[in-house]
Structure 1
């Protein structure tokens, strides 16, 4: 299940007025005050969603609370929940597959199992109006960077590929991970999470994949220096 914890701005974005009445998918009475207090379940993913306006267009910033992996949904249509879910799910899988391809991680990916579990995770979703202070600080930083980039480009990302490149750049930045009490790269954390939850890897397999990722990146840095 996908749990989207919405800030005040995101809650307003997903809501609309129809025949004088407010219509919203957002539940303003979540089961607990913080995402961490929710009951844990298999393939339950907690995300924080924030909405901003850039160049008069709606932009959603979505962050995975556990790994701090983020995605930018630019030019989003207000109150279009189905459109958001589609773009979100496609961008998430695209970003992970792109990352796996670039870092030679396919030996650790069970494609059939991954697809089954991914479809199961995305088959249900809920929206709660709920904050997460720590993740919000990271979202605010990404928001400032994105607005600077958009001003430099003179436009929002022209397509999902360009937006995905921005995602990839942001997810390389080290962020404080409160689970591990240190700074970690969100893309590496998401790959590890993905291999455990969606590809059936044990800790030995996850560690081997992460070691391979670090080796590929080390080789890339050496090539750049030479």
Structure 2
């Protein structure tokens, strides 16, 4: 099950009133005990007078930003979420040559299959919110620098890729890279990759980062 823990502002963004009738995607029914939740925290802000939704995976702190989603339009949010998520994971897996085409398809099918149920609930985690606030600051800076909001396709995906290459830190945990951790989590949970395979994946990621750093140093 896909679970969005929504801040107060996100709850408001997912609630609308039409012809005197209030409709909301936020629910408070008990969560099923036999369906483990894939937990994301959702926050909403206004940037350049446009609504912006920011989703962050509670464990890896992998984030995605959805620009200009209309108030109360949870359906579009869910559609964009899966579209962006699948593309990100596929790009990462291909970049590191970790899965072939059939493996990517199987992972995508599994990810969608186990998250056919999606629910939005009020709540959140302070530590996750701290990182969410950092992402919002990056969003505001990017819009100010570029003079407008990105689209919800290639421009937004490129911005997400930039966000998730920045290291994160939390009390009691060494620093980590959200894109690395999300890819490993998806390989483990949706592609059946074992610990040996994950170690191999991490080594490829580490080597790629060192190579990128060396190239930057040579250019400076």
On whether the aligned pair clears a TM of 0.5, the verdict is yes
- Runs ≥4 residues deviating over 3 A: 29-32, 38-42
CA contact (8 A) 2:43 2:54 kept: yes
**CA, structure 1 residues 70+40, in 2 after alignment: closer, same or farther (shift >3 Å)?**
farther
Match of 1:69 in 2: 62
1:4-49: CA deviation from partner (whole Å, max 9, x where unpaired): 111000000010113323211102x3648xxxxx95745x310000
Once residues 7 and 114 of structure 1 are traced to their aligned partners in structure 2, the CA distance between those partners, rounded to angstroms, is: 30
Once residues 5 and 167 of structure 2 are traced to their aligned partners in structure 1, the CA distance between those partners, rounded to angstroms, is: 23
1:205 aligns with 2:197: yes
CA contact (8 A) 1:196 1:202 kept: yes
Match of 1:138 in 2: 131
- TM-score, normalising length: structure 2: 0.91
CA contact (8 A) 1:175 1:186 kept: yes
1:84-138: CA deviation from partner (whole Å, max 9, x where unpaired): 1101110111111122222332269823431331121331100101121110010
Aligned length: 218
Aligned with residue 196 of structure 1, among 179, 183, 188: 188
Name the Cα RMSD after superposition. Answer: 2.2
1:153 aligns with 2:153: no
1:44-98: CA deviation from partner (whole Å, max 9, x where unpaired): 3100000011111110000000110000001111111111110111011111112
| Aligned pairs (5 A) from 1:32-111 | 41-42=35-36, 44-106=37-99, 110-111=103-104
Once residues 188 and 34 of structure 2 are traced to their aligned partners in structure 1, the CA distance between those partners, rounded to angstroms, is: 15
1:176 aligns with 2:169: yes
In structure 2, stretches of 5+ residues that fail to align are: none
SS at match of 2:151: coil
